[in-house]
Amino acid sequence: MSISPSAQERKKVTTLSLARKKAQGQPITMLTAYDYATALAIDRAEIDSILVGDSLGMVVLGYETTLPVTMKDMIHHCQAVARGARFALLVGDMPFMSYQASVDEAVRNAGRFLQEGGMDAVKLEGGRERLPAIEAIISAGIPVQGHLGLTPQSVHLLGGFRAQGKTATAARKLIEDALALQGAGCFSIVLETIPARLARFLSERLEIPTIGIGAGVGCDGQVLVTHDLLGLFDRFTPRFVKKYADLHAEMAQAFAAYKAEVEASIFPAEEHGIEMPEEEWEEFLEELK
């Protein structure tokens, strides 16, 4: 594959690049990816960061929640993404029960994302209750992105995939959690499905960048689940998603066209086939006699 001149000049995005973007008031872009081809396309679009989200459980593996996703699933998909993306900051999402049971396990599992998965950083959900794990992971030299608001791994505790931070008490707790994550050394925090004015307030008070999803334009950056943005996942689309394509419909059309052409013997046409030199064919027939 040839590398374009602009690709040669491009620099790898780091946690410091994100901090610089916040300082300069430049919005940060992040998207999820779970496979090589998507990671390559996102990287070519010069998106700052790729999250290998545990959302893969829902949009790729077909689970109802992210809870069944394992470390094995995550490492497998991280490796594919790392093979496709050279420039974006790669963040691996720590799955349910990979960091909650003990600090030791949290550090070892976080390390696997870098050593085996080819990631640059990890993300984990939760506030002050996660500080021991976050501090230990960061002490091991691994950058951590926090995740507050709607934290899908706590779906049952939250009573469903519901917006968070809508009361004064909940908003105060969120701010205290965000300040604690910043104090522990997180390089950024994802804010999911919280009121836009609360997200803006938080983003203005924090020194580290906030990345919003369903949290309004006042965040320092935005992340979307790529399958939602592409219209690939049509089981359920959150209100905050903007569909930039309708690939599910396009796929359905392409599959129907393929079926019709195969059934009508239109595909494969001559140009899709491989020819054998005439003399070889003659010799082959001759030898059969």
Residues binding ligand KIV (CB under 6 A): 32, 51, 53-55, 93, 190, 192, 213, 223, 225
| Residues whose CB is less than 8 angstroms from the CB of residue 173 and which lie 6 or more positions away in sequence, other chains included | 127
Measured distance between the N- and C-terminal CA atoms of the chain, rounded to whole angstroms: 47
Residue pointed to by tokens 């010799």: 283
The smaller minimum CB distance to ligand KIV, of residues 21 and 77, is found at: 77
192 is catalytic: yes
Looking at residue 249, the DSSP 8-state letter turns out to be H
Nearest position to ligand KIV, beta carbon? 53
Residue among 71 and 257 whose Cβ is closer to ligand KIV: 71
The catalytic residue among 116, 192, 250, 275 is: 192
- Output the smallest distance, CB 93 to ligand KIV, in A: 5
CB of 283 to ligand KIV, least distance (A): 59
State the nearest-atom distance from the C-beta of 125 to ligand KIV, in Å: 8
CB 266 within 8 A of CB 239: no
**CB of 191 within 8 A of CB of 3?**
no
Q: How far is the CB of 272 from ligand KIV (least distance, A)?
A: 38
DSSP states of 174-217: HHHHHHHHHHHT-SEEEEES--HHHHHHHHHH-SSPEEEESS-T
Cβ-based nearer residue to ligand KIV, 13 or 69: 69
Give the contacts of 165 (CB within 8 A, at least 6 positions apart).
Answer: 149, 171, 174, 194, 195, 198
Left (φ > 0), alpha (ψ -120 to 50) or beta: where does 141 sit? left
As measured in angstroms, the least distance from the Cβ of 251 to ligand KIV is 21
Please say which residue, 87 or 233, places its beta carbon nearer to ligand KIV: 233
The answer to whether the peptide bond before residue 268 is cis (omega within 30 degrees of 0) is yes
Closer residue to ligand KIV in complex, CB, 134/223: 223
- Cite the active site residues: 192
